[in-house]
Structure 1
Amino acid sequence: MAQTLSACALKVNLTSKQAAPRSLRAACAPRAVACKTATVCTLESKATIGRREATTAGFAALTALVLPVGEAEALFGGKSREERYTEETQAAIDQINYTIGLAKTDPARPQAIKDLKNTANDWVSRYRRDDKIGGRPSYGYVYSVFNAVQGHYNNFGTKAPIPKKRAARIVKELKDAELALSRGR
């Protein structure tokens, strides 16, 4: 009756315990080393898992410890989607009013136009695919204003002033958007 003892890379076939020196038996004694399988012992049963499963579980545990945990808004009283939409839309309306009200020679105008473009991209990308928000009148008004303002700056450059008719339509749509926001629409 031959026994096979293994300690990671060391494999020895022995016919009796007396044939191996004491240090070799100590080196081959069972210990917590993951060679081909790892043994998980519980009080009632033994379950054997492979290296792949053990590595995956270890990597998952390490990842869970290292990665930051996001803010849980829904359960712990964060702002609702409607409140965030109302605040961000009102901020966008204020920024549009500020930007189109700047004089042509104002030194802050180029940076304000860049900021407005970033705000428009963020706002539209956040709410365009949301069915509950995309169908609101306030969304339609603000989206239309963003298109008008950004289209003007893209076609005519940042130095060209917005024409009076277009500016009047933009201001009217912004007032309509504020009215719709105040009504929760």
Structure 2
Amino acid sequence: MASTLQLPSVFHCSSSSLTPPHNLLANSSSSRTGSSCPLRAVSCSSTHSDSSDSSAPVSRRQLSVGTLLVSTFGVVGGAFADFDEDYKSETQDMIGQVRSTLAMEKTDPNKAAAVAKLRQSGNEWVAKYRKAKKVAGKPSFSNMYSVINAISGHYVSFGATYPIPAKRKDRILDEVKDAEKALNRGR
């Protein structure tokens, strides 16, 4: 005996929505068109309608699957937006830190601390975003990764107070400009 739950106000799908809630777990042998994909039921809204469809019995399983789909896709969409914003702001911070550190004079007493902070921030930035497929293929990531690698390699080899040669510094600053342009375009 299947238990059903009578709810007059469950997911009501408009004609633009694709799947009514009682078809969420439709048998795979039923004819499916492009409009019966259960993942598209996420666009349904929770409203009350006086039509006979809204009082159709909905099983507890169907209700829980529908709730799970709606809650999952709602949370995932927000998480991706937050991740993109974090990436953009942290990359802008890295760009600013690279420029300010490279602009320091060799005789500046704060240079060694600034280089150590830049290397630490660069390592954290790379560790956070290197494995994220969403940003690892972006040109802004590639350029900044190259910049961080070049700066870190130079200071590991020559020390924190040894100046970066002009040719290498120009190449690094060009990469920074390219990264910033790509970042502003969302790439």
**TM-score scaled by structure 2?**
0.57
1:142 aligns with 144
C-alpha distance in structure 1 between counterparts of 2:142 and 2:111, whole Å: 26
Structure 2: gaps of 5 or more residues: 1-74
C-alpha distance in structure 2 between counterparts of 1:101 and 1:78, whole Å: 35
C-alpha distance in structure 2 between counterparts of 1:138 and 1:77, whole Å: 21
C-alpha distance in structure 2 between counterparts of 1:122 and 1:173, whole Å: 19
Alpha-carbon offset, residue 75 of structure 1: 8.5
1:56 aligns with none
1:164 aligns with 166
C-alpha distance in structure 1 between counterparts of 2:97 and 2:103, whole Å: 10
Is contact 1:99–1:113 with CA below 8 Å preserved after alignment? yes
Higher helix share: 2
Higher strand share: 1
Is contact 1:74–1:80 with CA below 8 Å preserved after alignment? no
Alpha-carbon offset, residue 74 of structure 1: 6.3
Q: Secondary structure at the match of 2:105?
A: coil
Alpha-carbon offset, residue 174 of structure 1: 0.3
Q: Does 2:187 align with 1:174?
A: no
Q: Cα RMSD over matched residues?
A: 1.9
C-alpha distance in structure 2 between counterparts of 1:182 and 1:91, whole Å: 13
C-alpha distance in structure 1 between counterparts of 2:168 and 2:77, whole Å: 44
Alpha-carbon offset, residue 76 of structure 1: 8.0
Is contact 2:116–2:160 with CA below 8 Å preserved after alignment? no
Given residue 85 of structure 2, which amino acid in structure 1 is its aligned partner? E
Is contact 1:145–1:170 with CA below 8 Å preserved after alignment? yes
**TM-score scaled by structure 1?**
0.58
C-alpha distance in structure 1 between counterparts of 2:143 and 2:77, whole Å: 32
2:62 aligns with none
2:16 aligns with none
1:89 aligns with 91
Q: How does 1:36-47 map to 2 (within 5 A)?
A: none
C-alpha distance in structure 1 between counterparts of 2:78 and 2:144, whole Å: 31
2:124 aligns with 122
1:7 aligns with none
Alpha-carbon offset, residue 161 of structure 1: 0.3
1:29 aligns with none
Alpha-carbon offset, residue 159 of structure 1: 1.8
Q: Does 2:136 align with 1:131?
A: no
- Inter-CA distance 180–75: structure 2 relative to 1 (3 Å threshold): closer
Q: Secondary structure at the match of 1:117?
A: helix
Given residue 88 of structure 1, which amino acid in structure 2 is its aligned partner? E
C-alpha distance in structure 1 between counterparts of 2:78 and 2:171, whole Å: 42
Q: Secondary structure at the match of 1:80?
A: helix
- Inter-CA distance 77–137: structure 2 relative to 1 (3 Å threshold): closer
2:35 aligns with none
2:101 aligns with 99
Q: Sequence identity, in percent?
A: 44
- Inter-CA distance 132–75: structure 2 relative to 1 (3 Å threshold): closer
